Amino acid sequence: QQQVKQSPQSLIVQKGGISIINCAYENTAFDYFPWYQQFPGKGPALLIAIRPDVSEKKEGRFTISFNKSAKQFSLHIMDSQPGDSATYFCAARGTSYGKLTFGQGTILTVHP
């Protein structure tokens, strides 16, 4: 019940295309959903986050869509660029103080 399932494991997109990464959860106590971006040899960096009382949040080319009834949320990267090539992690935080549960990660490659 604490798992967050992320798909796909890897994704290849052409420059200018839309990248879509999906996550699903079961624990209804989760109430904060961040996305992290990680480049090789670096720590994850917070990209964008959403709370379940909002169905969509957009920051620049990055959008989170949240479906509370389906217990699913997704990251959309519009106009994908080669510099977006990285590993993306979704996560969820529940009632335990600050504890995040991470998805397995998606390796995104954007071809020029």
Partner 1 sequence: DGGITQSPKYLFRKEGQNVTLSCEQNLNHDAMYWYRQDPGQGLRLIYYSQIVNDFQKGDIAEGYSVSREKKESFPLTVTSAQKNPTAFYLCASSMGQKNQPQHFGDGTRLSIL
C-beta of residue 40 within 8 angstroms of C-beta of residue 56: no
96-104 long-range contacts (CB < 8 A, ≥24 apart) are: 100/34, 101/2, 101/3, 101/4, 101/25, 101/27, 101/30, 102/4, 102/36, 103/4, 103/5, 103/6, 103/23, 104/5, 104/6, 104/9
* Nearer residue to partner 1 within complex by CB, 32 or 76: 32
* Nearer residue to partner 1 within complex by CB, 9 or 14: 9
Q: How far apart are CA 1 and CA 74, in angstroms?
A: 19
- The H-or-E segment that residue 107 falls in is strand 106-111
For residue 97, the minimal CB distance to partner 1 (Å) is: 6
Considering only residues 70 through 99, tell me which ones interact with partner 1, judged by CB under 8 A.
89, 93, 97-99
Identify the residue among 42, 58, 68, 111 touching partner 1 (CB under 8 A): 42
For residue 100, the minimal CB distance to partner 1 (Å) is: 6
* Nearer residue to partner 1 within complex by CB, 93 or 110: 93
Identify the residue among 15, 51, 68, 111 touching partner 1 (CB under 8 A): 51
Q: Point out which residues bind partner 1 (CB under 8 A).
A: 6, 9, 31-32, 34, 36, 41-46, 49, 51, 89, 93, 97-100, 102-105
